[in-house]
Structure 1
Amino acid sequence: MKYAAVTSNIAGLGSDKWVLSAAASRRIAAGDAIINLTIGEPDVAIDRTLVETAVSAMRAGRTGYSNGRGEASLLQALSDHYSDRLGRPIGTDRFLCLPGTQTALFLVFQALCDAGDEVILGDPMYATYEALIRASGAVPMPVPLDPEHGFRLQAEAVARKITPRTRVIFLNTPHNPTGAILRPEELRALGALAAEHDLWVVSDEVYGDLTHGAQTFTSALADPRFEDRTIVAASISKSHAAPGFRSGWVLGSAEFCARALPLSETMLFGSQPFIADMTARAVADDRALAHAMAARMARRAAIIAEALDGVAGLRVLRPEAGMFALIDIRALTSNSLAFALDLLEKTGVAVMPGASFGSALEGWLRVALNASDDATREACRRIADYAETRKGRT
């Protein structure tokens, strides 16, 4: 039988990336005591007032069809939030509401890219990015992110990748898996480069409210000179501990939203009104839950660094934001998948191999920061013992 080319373009780029997470889930279902540090789940339940808002909306009959852009109350809440964050008016006509950041980014690349176009992005990258790009027919053009620059994408490296086929510079700030935050001057340089070559800038900013310590986040939309070519995607999945509600949005120019709206309506003609009501309340609330979550995750990153940095040649990269720390295991092996699988088998600790996030992170592990402090310490003890054993065999 014949299939569309997209099925070949994205073959192996879906659940295959999450082998460790699936293996850990199977072990947990079988009753094994696994410390699962694979997925960026928030470490607390969603605020009960948000659940009650959704339930009340359902009881009030907010279960019918919506429209392609999103419910008016949510569009206004987003407008108010970003107007305040960016310090200039951001109209409601600049948003499209979709079920989560993943769907929002899928829409963006479908709207911007044709077959054979090129999308420049950093490597390492979030595990689904390559498939998002290839599903549009475009080709990912990874730029290795240098640890010497804190894994932050540099305009000079991007410039060397630009060709006549380049269409988009794809950013992720704060970055998954490294936790790096692009600096204002780096964003300005990338925006100027995009303007020079008439390119789009797409920025996944879902971790923007999860900065650690005194770190600050700057949106790719901060500089108004580049706002007509810059598109931001985000959601309440991380900031409000609501990943299962699948509620996100795109912020772009009014022209982009008008052009992308028919595609959005073709994909999904409107999100659920009761979820929109909940999201409007979440967007309008302060970020106390996110800030408390970020503080706990920064503390766990410090626990990991104190316990593992320097042990058996391991090095720990502490994040500036987000839900993950990185462990450099290159002193022990260059095969992060084999290491992670054996670590799970021998110790019951599940982490993500760096190879799931691009070739530049081979020889690293991504460790989620959402387990309790005690579970994190225990995981570190087991990892340290395992690493010492591995070192003794080399």
Structure 2
Amino acid sequence: MSAITSKLTNRIVEEDLSFRSKMLAIAADMNNVIAMGRGDPDFHTPVHIAAAAKEAIDANQHHYTPPTGIPALRAAIAADLQKEYGLEYTADEVIVTAGVQESITLIMLALIRAGDEVLITSPRFMTYDTAVNFAGGLPVPVPTFQIDDFALDIAEIEKRITPRTRMFVLVSPNNPTGAVTPPDVIRKIAELAVKHDLVVVSDEIYAKIIYEGHEHLSIGSLPGMKERTITLNGFSKTYAMTGWRVGYLAAPADFVSKVTEMRHTLSINTCTVSQYAALAALTGPHEPIKAMIDEYATRRAFLLPALDDMGLTYGNPGGAFYVYINVSSTGMSTPDFCERLLRETGVMLFPGTMFGDHDPSYIRLSFLQPLPVLKEAVKRMKAFMDRCGKAAA
């Protein structure tokens, strides 16, 4: 161990990346791998958004911006939040960040004290754990279950609240399950937050990718909740802008004012050119966005019956572009299942254990491949499942 590593603080909590690295190494030596584990849309950023970035470069818009973001983008974000979700934020209640990941880190550093507990929808995007640990807090997973389509259960939240609970992180639609927590449960979560004086961080990065029969409710739009809610959203998923790194938080103006200097310290400002691209995303034509979301719906409509055909069960995904699949019927652990599937078929998925799930029954499948490629992946998976069934017999 180096002299530097020996001095690491307890903010650094080791994450076992060995399995992910192993899978990538296996895939690197194979041909015709179908990757279905990623969360990066397979679509290109719409042309008008990329054009706005080029125009910004040509106009020499490449210098520092205010740390909270360019005023026009903050205003457009506030207008979009009001139009889409009934959230009453003004431009001075928005901070544009380098992706939602930076927003998460900023919030935890600003609000979490040593020993504070943070309840987090689980299985989950593990960045939350890392950011809470940075701040000296304790992540407390709130489990969700297949029987509920992985939507939150109010009883599971309430029984984990202690005198040290400071915050609840609500992620709906959720990654990795695609679960949309119903409006009636969102209202009960709001009541709990008021009762126990909790801050709610509402991660709504997938809120525009909602499927028929499901409804998204922004908790910050409910009476009495704006003052205790921080709403997170961004451009990566809906607009196929993952590499542009533009996210944002919306919160009461006094909080925004208090954390502006901290945000400046983290990265000064979000990439200037990317901010102009994000402005075009909000103010430009939405037909390309609708086309992407419609295509996700088509893929989902193909996949769910195909999984039924294989005898696999799952939580019905109300949003996002993931299916969380139960493979316990194979008798294999999910890491073994994923490794064998990759080696034998070239289809790469990742186990739910990578998302903090202590139940080793699940894998995440992301339908971020064109439909013909998805059909080929399903064909390979079905042949694999048939072989597994014959071997078990």
Deviation at 1:112, TM superposition (A): 1.2
Matched, 1:359 2:367: no
Give the equivalent residue in structure 2 for 1:379: 377
Deviation at 1:318, TM superposition (A): 3.5
Distance 1:157 1:286 in 2: 42
Deviation at 1:239, TM superposition (A): 1.0
Aligned 8 A contact 2:113 2:137 in 1: yes
TM-score (norm 2): 0.93
Count of aligned residue pairs for this structure pair = 388
Distance 1:39 1:32 in 2: 18
One-letter identity of the residue aligned with 1:262: E
Bigger drift between 85-94 and 99-108 goes to 85-94
One-letter identity of the residue aligned with 2:348: A
Give the equivalent residue in structure 2 for 1:118: 117
Aligned 8 A contact 1:67 1:271 in 2: no
Q: 1:208 to 1:177 in 2, by over 3 A?
A: same
Deviation at 1:165, TM superposition (A): 0.9
Q: 1:220 to 1:291 in 2, by over 3 A?
A: farther
Matched, 1:236 2:235: yes
Matched, 1:108 2:111: no
Q: Which runs of 5+ in 1 are unaligned?
A: none
Deviation at 1:213, TM superposition (A): 2.8
Deviation at 1:279, TM superposition (A): 1.0
Deviation at 1:232, TM superposition (A): 1.2
Distance 1:132 1:80 in 2: 29
For residue 15 of structure 2, the aligned residue among 12, 16, 19 is 12
Q: CA RMSD in A?
A: 2.0
Distance 2:225 2:285 in 1: 28
2:178 is paired with a residue whose SS is: coil
Bigger drift between 379-388 and 159-168 goes to 379-388
One-letter identity of the residue aligned with 1:22: L
4+ residue runs of structure 1 moved beyond 4 angstroms? Answer: none
Bigger drift between 277-286 and 222-231 goes to 277-286
Aligned 8 A contact 1:109 1:133 in 2: yes
1:120 is paired with a residue whose SS is: strand
Deviations 1:259-290 (A, max 9, x none): 22121111011122222111112123454333
Give the equivalent residue in structure 1 for 2:313: 315
TM-score (norm 1): 0.93
Distance 1:289 1:323 in 2: 17
Give the equivalent residue in structure 2 for 1:67: 66
Aligned 8 A contact 2:85 2:217 in 1: no
Deviations 1:52-81 (A, max 9, x none): 111111111111111211111111111211
Distance 1:72 1:65 in 2: 13
Deviation at 1:302, TM superposition (A): 2.5
Aligned 8 A contact 1:180 1:321 in 2: yes
Q: Which runs of 5+ in 2 are unaligned?
A: none
Distance 2:352 2:215 in 1: 26
In the TM superposition, 1:246-285 aligns within 5 A as 246-285=245-284
Identity over the aligned pairs, expressed in percent? 26
Deviation at 1:83, TM superposition (A): 2.4
2:363 is paired with a residue whose SS is: strand
Deviation at 1:334, TM superposition (A): 5.1
1:129 is paired with a residue whose SS is: helix
Distance 2:185 2:238 in 1: 24
Give the equivalent residue in structure 1 for 2:207: 208
Distance 2:200 2:41 in 1: 28
Deviation at 1:199, TM superposition (A): 0.8
In the TM superposition, 1:1-394 aligns within 5 A as 1=3, 2-6=6-10, 8-9=12-13, 11-12=14-15, 15-16=17-18, 18-19=20-21, 22-23=24-25, 26-27=27-28, 30=29, 32-87=31-86, 89-285=88-284, 287-311=286-310, 313-333=311-331, 335-394=333-392
Distance 1:229 1:12 in 2: 31
Distance 2:176 2:64 in 1: 37
Deviation at 1:292, TM superposition (A): 2.4
Q: 1:302 to 1:20 in 2, by over 3 A?
A: farther
Deviation at 1:6, TM superposition (A): 4.4
Deviations 1:13-41 (A, max 9, x none): 6x5574476346x52xx561101101122
Deviations 1:106-159 (A, max 9, x none): 111111111211111122112333222222211111121022222111222111
